[in-house]
Amino acid sequence: MRSSDRDRIVLAAVVFAVMFSQLLLYPGIATLVETLGADATSSPFAATPLDASMWFLVAEFAAYVAFVGVWGVVSDVTGRRTPLIVVGAIAGAAGYAALAVVPALGSIPFEGVLIVRVFQGATTIGALSLTMTMLMDLEGGHGRNMGAAGIAIGLGAALGAPIGGQLTELDPVAPLVVAATLLVGVGAAVSLVEDRAPTTRRTARALLEGVRRRPTLSVPYAFGFVDRMTAGFFALVGTLYFQETFGLTAGATGLLLACFFAPFALLQYPMGALSDRIGRAVPIVVGSLCYGLGILAVGAAPSVAVAAVAMVSIGVLGALVSPTTMALVTDLAAEDERGLAMAGFNLAGSLGFLGGFLVGATVAGSFGYDLAFLVVGGLEIAIAIVAAPVFLRLSIGTSGSITDSDRVGHSE
């Protein structure tokens, strides 16, 4: 086995561990925030279980948004990835562990819990984003490398959701303990991988200017935003929708979420490799259009069985779109700007998650679940329609067809 192939496996395992840790908390989120002290009488952030759950998730992703770019710039400026990932993973483990001991202390207000959550998110995103950047640095095809990242993300989510539901039924803080343990393992595993970051030294200002001069990056960023918005929507609103509409337990909800995440995970690598052969445009545009229609089908499902089938279908479509979008980021970014370029993609994705939490919860709380599904599914369809002519105008195809003019953008 070539060293790049071995490193691809290790890095994918690291991405899996980070995502698995994150998703462990989602199926039992309402129970977890109650255990951590969410109380309507003492905190304006916990007026209802939905509000408390929303702010707990928002705290993490707000930290992602604030700090992902910092990690990317520092990595590109210093030409190092591995030590930064180790620091981010160990600090993230400390954040999860601190949350796990909150119930034993019993005197921390919910606002304090949210502050710890912000710290945990700010550090964890460094480990995740820079590991994905290390996959960008590997040879072997951008679609394959991002397919490896995608299958790790998908498997982490697919297994994290159902296992997190089962752990919650044993003890609400068990997912936090497992998450902390896994992130310690991440710090150890990534130290085994060769750091292939370009050794070119550039200032932070030069990096920002270089990315700014590549407006074509806005294409994968826009798709990343909307795709992650749907994920955030299902993580919060979808979870509560399934439980209220079909009367599911946390464990059963995790299994229903796995109907999406299982095909989403297992098909990422072959779909990413496929995009290396046929180009990026068709998988992204057609896949996103059908993905949006699938979301509408989930919201209209009259039974758990039909909802499960619809979740499987959008899992397949998500596997078509996700690695191809990440590969497009790699196609368009300069080698010595990959840390910042991937940080930008993760920033867009984190904003999408935030949008999924906030928009989804607000619309569902004010107007009902039907309109919430319509809004999120409609946005996915809209971005596909708007982006189609952009792909045609820029001629963005396979990784081999990306030219310098495509990277810099057209002046028209």
Q: What confidence category does residue 212 fall into, taking pLDDT thresholds of 50, 70 and 90?
A: low
Question: Of 29-33, 147-151, 276-280, which one has max mean pLDDT?
Answer: 29-33
pTM of the model: 0.73
pLDDT at 404: 45
Whether the per-residue pLDDT at 409 is higher than 50: the answer is no
Rounded Cα distance, 179 and 26, in Å: 12
Whether the per-residue pLDDT at 262 is higher than 50: the answer is yes
- CA distances 327 to 132, 201, 217, 272, Å, are 11, 24, 11, 8
Whether the per-residue pLDDT at 156 is higher than 90: the answer is no
Q: Which residue has the tokens 């337990």?
A: 249
Backbone region of residue 195 per phi and psi (left: phi > 0; alpha: psi in -120 to 50; beta: other values): beta
**Contacts for 351 with CB less than 8 Å, ≥ 6 apart:** 61, 65, 225, 228
Q: What confidence category does residue 403 fall into, taking pLDDT thresholds of 50, 70 and 90?
A: very low
**Contacts for 297 with CB less than 8 Å, ≥ 6 apart:** 310, 313, 314
The 3-class SS string of 177-244 reads HHHHHHHHHHHHHHCCCCCCCCCCCCCHHHHHHHHHCCHHHHHHHHHHHHHHHHHHHHHHHHHHHHHH
- CA distances 347 to 62, 84, 88, 224, Å, are 10, 18, 17, 9
Rounded Cα distance, 240 and 376, in Å: 16
Residue type, 249: T
Q: Which residue has the tokens 């030590």?
A: 83
Rounded Cα distance, 253 and 232, in Å: 15
In this prediction, residues 346-352 reach a mean pLDDT of 81
pLDDT at 225: 86
What is the greatest pairwise CA distance in the chain?
61
pLDDT at 199: 65
Over pLDDT 70: what percentage of the chain? Answer: 90
Length of the chain: 412
pLDDT at 1: 53
pLDDT at 398: 45
pLDDT at 312: 93
Q: Count the domains in the chain.
A: 1
Rounded Cα distance, 9 and 320, in Å: 21
* 66-84: pLDDT as tens digits: 898 889 888 888 888 899 9
Rounded Cα distance, 342 and 406, in Å: 18
Task: Please say whether the beta carbons of 140 and 12 come within 8 A.
Answer: no
Three-state DSSP class for residue 141: coil
- Which CATH number fits the domain that encloses residue 202? 1.20.1250.20
Rounded Cα distance, 279 and 277, in Å: 6
Query: Residue 226 is part of which domain span?
Result: 3-408
The pair of three-digit structure tokens given for residue 306, joined into one six-digit string = 């039909």
Rounded Cα distance, 75 and 79, in Å: 6
Task: Please say whether the beta carbons of 338 and 73 come within 8 A.
Answer: no
Residue type, 380: E
Helix axes 239-246, 304-332, angle to 10 degrees: 170
Rounded Cα distance, 224 and 241, in Å: 24
Rounded Cα distance, 76 and 344, in Å: 13
